[in-house]
Amino acid sequence: MAAKQDRKQEILAALATMLETGPGQRITTARLASEVGVSEAALYRHFPSKAKMFEGLIDFTEDAILSRINQILENEKDTVTRCEMIVRLVLTFVARNPGITRILTGDALLGEHERLRGRVLGIFEKVEANLKQVLRERRLREQVRGGLDEGMLANLVMAYADGKITQFVRSEFKRSPTEHFDEQWQTIAQQLLS
């Protein structure tokens, strides 16, 4: 059983590496099998389809990001710090996982099953919902009046993150999504969250 899990992880790691090193190239199961050093039939023993392989990477991403967001929400109480940590988490995850980032932007999912794009959208919607909840709690806790609607503000913060992620992919992973984050976040926090 452990060997089967190891092989699954090896396949997913190879897929992520291929996504990183071959921007714009379609990944076939034949190429992936060759990269892993197994037959295509062996790939299909672990994953019934290429879509399931992509889903494995999406599951990993969702678990990694959302579990860490839960830790942030549990351990940090300051609204601005929570928002900063959530956005930094997403951008740092992306910087460390460039191949998966191509999935998150949809670049690697062209021609793949529509359900995969829906799963990716769900991750971003959950992150945005967490930001919205953090901002809503602030309004209730601190009796803050006026300002932008929490949903609109959460969406604006996500648009910033999404732009940094897209820029990273477009630069073929040369321009880090965390580049200038500290300075940019100060401006965002001062202008929007204060």
Q: What structural domains and CATH numbers belong to the chain? A: 50-193 (1.10.357.10)
Start-to-end CA span in the chain (Å):
52
Which stretches of the chain drop beneath a pLDDT of 70?
A: 1-5, 144-146, 192-194
Handedness of CA 169, 173, 175, 181 (dihedral sign): positive
Closest to 17 (Cα-Cα) out of 123, 173, 124: 173
pLDDT value of position 146? 62
Distance from chain centroid for Cα 187: 23
pLDDT value of position 60? 96
pLDDT value of position 145? 67
pLDDT value of position 193? 66
Q: Whole-angstrom Cα distance, residue 84 to residue 79? A: 9
The string of pLDDT tens digits covering residues 59-77 is: 999 999 999 999 999 999 9
The answer to whether 12 touches 53, Cβ cutoff 8 Å, is yes
pLDDT value of position 190? 86
pLDDT value of position 2? 64
- Exposed / middle / buried, residue 140 (Cβ in 10 Å: 0-12, 13-18, 19+): exposed
